[in-house]
Structure 1
């Protein structure tokens, strides 16, 4: 089991919201209205760890190890929402999200293949780590800068934990896992070719609720994320390249094969898909001398 070891590792570096955040360094003159509004939107977005956890537990009922790890991931992700709300409570109480605003992002996600969902959230943690690092640079008020730097480190550790479960999955499912991880990796490393930000909170996850079936579509300001990325923290091509490089680097280590571009990963995806299809066909084919 991975859960006991991951619990110890994450417990050892867990930060305390009261003592590790330098609340007394707050400088009201360095917090703009624009920045304060983005903190509210991020607090609500982080609350979506609640429906994501419900999805993970539902779709991984046969995996008690991973489901137990969700207790750690869920706690730390909800803490992200909480520390952002605590910042607002202390310094901009008029912007603290209401319980209804938080509840709006709790909705059911359609069932999805567990392996692909695992890879999707690994990439999401990598991307969020970079978003928060950039947000820390954009903000001018020192306390919220420290908070975003702290959250970024948590997201990086979460990505590392997901990577451990991906490695375990390859040992269990072989080429099926490799094919699933490569498929989602190609998608999540191709954000420069898409009109929307590729993160789990910005993907459609409930067909019956379309178009209000993304976390971002259920925020008080559904257009916030794109504006935050493009105009505010200016998550440009240079930063996007850092995300792609991290995804490709980690997949190279995981697959023990070098991927220096999305194109190389896509060729690997096709290779794995062909191998999975061939293995499936061989299993389905009748044995010689048996009835067809």
Structure 2
């Protein structure tokens, strides 16, 4: 089992909301209304760990090890929402999300292949680590800068934990796991060719609720994410390249094969698809 070791590792570096956030350094003159509004939106977005956890537990009923790890992931992600709300409660109380605004992002996700979802969330943690690092640079108020830096480190650790479960999946399922990871990797590393930000909170996950079936579509300001990325923290091509390089680097280690570009990963995906198709039994003529 991976859970006991991961629990110890995450417990050893867990930060304390009262002691480890420099609340006494707050400087209201360095917090703009625009910046404060983005804190509220991220607080609500982080709350979506709740429906994601419900999805993980539902779709991994046969994997108690991973499900146990999700208890730690869920705790830390909900703590992210809480610390952002605590920041607003202390310094901009009129912007604290309402319980209804938080509850709005709790909705059921359609079932999906567990291996693809695992890879999707690994990529999501990599991307969010970079978003939060960039957000820490954009903000000018010292306390919220420190909070985003703290959250970014958590997201990096979560990505590392997901990677451990991906390695375990390859040992268990071989090419089936490799194919799932390569498929989603090609999608998540291709953001420069898509109109939307590629993160789990911005993907459609409930066909019956379309088009309000993304977390972002259910925020008080559904257009917020694109504006935050493009106009505010300015998550430009150089930052996107860092995300892609990190995804490709980790997949290279995982697959024991070098991927310098998304195109190389896509060729590998096609090779795996052909191999798996060739292994399928040929139907006997009746």
Query: Deviation per CA, 1:133-190, whole angstroms, max 9, x where unpaired?
Result: 0000000000000000000000000000000000000011100000000000000000
Match in the other structure for 1:239: 239
Q: What does residue 179 of structure 2 align with?
A: 179
Tell whether 2:74 aligns with 1:63: no
Q: Distance in 2 between matches of 1:140 and 1:211?
A: 35
Deviation, structure 1 residue 285: 5.1
**Greater than 2 Å deviation, 4+ residue runs:** none
Please give the TM-score of this superposition, normalised by the length of structure 2. Answer: 0.99
- 2:2 is aligned to 2
Matched, 1:21 2:36: no
Count of aligned pairs between the two proteins: 286
The residue that corresponds to 1:48 in the other structure is 48
Match of 2:84 in 1: 84
Within-5 A mapping of 1:155-234: 155-234=155-234
Alpha-carbon offset, residue 278 of structure 1: 1.3
* CA deviation profile, 1:100-122 (whole Å, cap 9, x unmatched): 00000000000000000000000
Q: What TM-score, normalized by structure 1, do the two folds share?
A: 0.97
Q: Offset of 1:280 from its aligned partner?
A: 2.0
Task: Measure, in 2, the Cα distance between the counterparts of 1:118 and 1:280.
Answer: 25
Task: Kindly report the root-mean-square deviation, in angstroms, between the aligned alpha carbons of the 2 structures.
Answer: 0.9
Output one character per residue of 1:244-277: Cα deviation in whole Å (capped at 9) or x when no partner. 0000000000000000000000000001111111
- Which runs of 5 or more residues in structure 1 are unaligned? none
- The C-alpha deviation readout for 1:67-108, integer Å capped at 9, x for no partner, is 000000000000000000000000000000000000000000
Separation (CA, whole Å) in 2 of partners of 1:280 and 1:14: 47
What are the Cα deviations for residues 47-80 of structure 1, in whole angstroms up to 9, with x where unaligned?
0000000000000000000000000000000000
Question: Matched residue of 2:280: which SS?
Answer: helix
CA distance in 2, matches of 1:151, 1:285: 52
Match of residue 110 from structure 2 = 110
Separation in structure 1 between the aligned mates of residue 273 and residue 96 of structure 2, nearest angstrom: 47
Unaligned runs of 5+ in 2: none
